[in-house]
Structure 1
Amino acid sequence: MAEQDNSNLAVPALGSSAAYQLANVTKSAPQFDSLTPRWITRLFDWKGLETGIYRLNKVQEGDTPLDILCSTGDTSNITEGFVDYSTSPREYVLNSISTIINVNTRVSDIYSSPFNQIQEQLRLAIESIKERQESQLINSDDYGLLKNAAASQRIQTRNGAPTPDDLDELISKVWKEPSYFLAHPRAIAAIGRECTRRGVPPQTVQLFGAHFLTWRGIPIIPTDKLFVDGHKNPKGQAGKTNILLVRTGENKQGVLGLYQTGLPGEQSRGLSVRFTGIDKQGIGSYLLSLYCSVAILADDAIGVLEDVDVGNYYDYE
């Protein structure tokens, strides 16, 4: 009797689609592509306010920096008088960045393992608010660094691309203990190209466990909140942006971040989270509010290099 050949017959086995139904899936928390390190809020000096208002008192100066005494007479070559103050100082009122997060209680009750749905919603909303805060610190018409820098502290690039000469001139505007440059990552790449082209490649320094390029020992901090042609995430084509040089700290008459203290439901500096209740449809609501502003204590605390050409990615391939 001939023996049967089974070599070409498929062997029955459990399929992957069916097996998948019994498998545990390891899940990540929601990833937020737009998040950034937000170096600016880490580098600022911050001052807490009791009432949400900061009055920036200034000396009423004369024609020269040394001409500040209001003389009342000259007795034996000794000038007598007093140092006068401005009678109309600027007041900064804290800006509010707020949002409301709604979560269906049925969803949070049933679908909160392994990640708590309410906590994840609040975490992502807080991250979004803090990204908005950093953008406002630079771009707010009311108090942002870019819009409120003095006209005398603004300079133009010589040839479009940011050169060592441009950076040196910016330092000459903020020469009293400058703290750091702020620039879009593409502007920093352009700085590296131009400096290397001239044979003076930038050195690096380590801060917060990260490495930054420097110029004249001053760190160059990246932020995508200094837009290129008005966009946060521009494509590779050429565009224009600005580079800032900042001096920080109240004792240095620099830039000072402001926030509200003692908030109900305070989660972090100037940020509160408050549960506002559940409606008849079972929707729970949470109010998130962040109060902040920034004061430029002296005109020479910030300088702006304008019309910086970041170049075209494809020109350097």
Structure 2
Amino acid sequence: MSLNDNLVNPNNRSLGPKAARRLSNTTKSIPMMDSITPRWLLSFLPWVSTEAGVYRVNKVIDDSNEGMCSDNIGEHCIPQNYMDYNCNPKEYTLNIIQTILKINSQVSDIFNSPINQKQEQMRLTIEKMREKQECELVNNSEFGLLASVDPSMRIPPRKGTPTPDDLDDLLATVWKKPAFFLAHPKAIAAFTRECTCRGVPPVTVNIFGSPFVTWRGVPMVPCDKVKIDSLGNTCILLMRVGEREQGVIGLHQPGVPGECQVPSLSVHFGGIDDMGIMSYIMTLYYGLAVLTNDALGMLENVNIGHYYDYE
């Protein structure tokens, strides 16, 4: 029996819930948004601070062993060699995501309790900006992960669907301290089905308080920004990360003027117009750099479409 059942009871002579609710307060949630994701890529990437928004990647021109001295034990040998540097190193300039948030001053004056309207508008806008940031880090045609994979680090699948053999091949390609795989959740599901069919279900570990599927001890990080085309084709990335490891790094500039909630995100008041509309200019500075070609590999054109044909 619900609270509203006695509204239709002719014998009910007490104050009904429908009328009583007019004198009571409701418990309200903050605004929910379906498009918010965990954005694990932003958490797994190590972030490096830039000076003046520019990061320069210096590289050795030729690091082969030719010219180094090697001789028998006991014989005098003086090695003579040096490492030459690239005179035109690549520079990464921070990119921006910028928007103008508009808030009616009457709304923030009158309808500001129990939930702060300005605070919630900014929170939701920042969520959208961070979603866009992760998408650009994966898909941007100039600096995104997909565009930064060297041709020598791209490998095809053995039979179309992602299999344990394919991920072993990818691990053999990025073999120097691989940090994590990055793939669409459906690609990870397709891979785990292949593993289960072969009787080798992958191990799950807890990272950041959440479960992650692993393969050979390397976590598989889900990211819905890795696209799946209409034919069910996608890719799986594997990367080494960090400056010390000559891997993939995120770039930002924390401490910018007007920094708000997120490092490298600034908020500046843009004034109030004649209609009482307040403007806030919100800017997020970020970038990504692949320090060496062998830090990022891709299993490309894996197909997962047939898993979902019958669903």
TM-score (structure 2 length as normaliser): 0.89
- Give runs of aligned pairs for residues 117-136 of structure 1, distance below 5 A: 117-136=117-136
> Residue 66 of structure 1 corresponds to which residue in structure 2?
65
- Residue 81 of structure 2 aligns to a residue in which SS? strand
- Residue 227 of structure 2 aligns to a residue in which SS? coil
- Give the unaligned 5+ runs of structure 1: 1-7, 70-75, 231-237
CA deviation after TM superposition for structure 1 residue 141, in Å: 1.2
TM-score (structure 1 length as normaliser): 0.88
Match of 2:235 among 234, 239, 242: 242
Quick check: 1:309 aligned with 2:308? no
- Give runs of aligned pairs for residues 146-295 of structure 1, distance below 5 A: 146-229=146-229, 239-267=232-260, 268-295=262-289
| CA RMSD in angstroms, aligned pairs only | 2.0
Once residues 114 and 148 of structure 2 are traced to their aligned partners in structure 1, the CA distance between those partners, rounded to angstroms, is 46
Q: Count how many residue pairs are aligned between Structure 1 and Structure 2.
A: 295
Q: 1:141 to 1:211 in 2, by over 3 A?
A: same
In structure 2, give the amino acid aligned to 1:34. S
**Identity, % of aligned positions:** 52
Once residues 11 and 292 of structure 1 are traced to their aligned partners in structure 2, the CA distance between those partners, rounded to angstroms, is 64
- Give the unaligned 5+ runs of structure 2: 1-8, 69-75
> Residue 297 of structure 1 corresponds to which residue in structure 2?
291
Q: 1:155 to 1:18 in 2, by over 3 A?
A: same
The answer to whether the Cα contact below 8 Å between 2:204 and 2:212 also exists between their aligned partners in 1 is: yes
- Residue 257 of structure 1 aligns to a residue in which SS? strand
- Residue 300 of structure 2 aligns to a residue in which SS? strand
In structure 1, give the amino acid aligned to 2:43. R
Once residues 56 and 314 of structure 1 are traced to their aligned partners in structure 2, the CA distance between those partners, rounded to angstroms, is 43
The answer to whether the Cα contact below 8 Å between 1:68 and 1:83 also exists between their aligned partners in 2 is: no
CA deviation after TM superposition for structure 1 residue 78, in Å: 3.8
Q: 1:156 to 1:9 in 2, by over 3 A?
A: closer
Give per-residue Cα distances to partners, 1:18-58, cap 9 Å, x unaligned: 33322311111000111111111111111111200111110
- Residue 34 of structure 1 aligns to a residue in which SS? coil
CA deviation after TM superposition for structure 1 residue 82, in Å: 1.8
Deviates more, 1:288-297 or 1:263-272: 263-272
> Residue 34 of structure 1 corresponds to which residue in structure 2?
35
The answer to whether the Cα contact below 8 Å between 2:67 and 2:80 also exists between their aligned partners in 1 is: no
CA deviation after TM superposition for structure 1 residue 181, in Å: 0.3
The answer to whether the Cα contact below 8 Å between 1:108 and 1:118 also exists between their aligned partners in 2 is: yes
In structure 1, give the amino acid aligned to 2:24. A
CA deviation after TM superposition for structure 1 residue 204, in Å: 1.1
Quick check: 1:45 aligned with 2:61? no
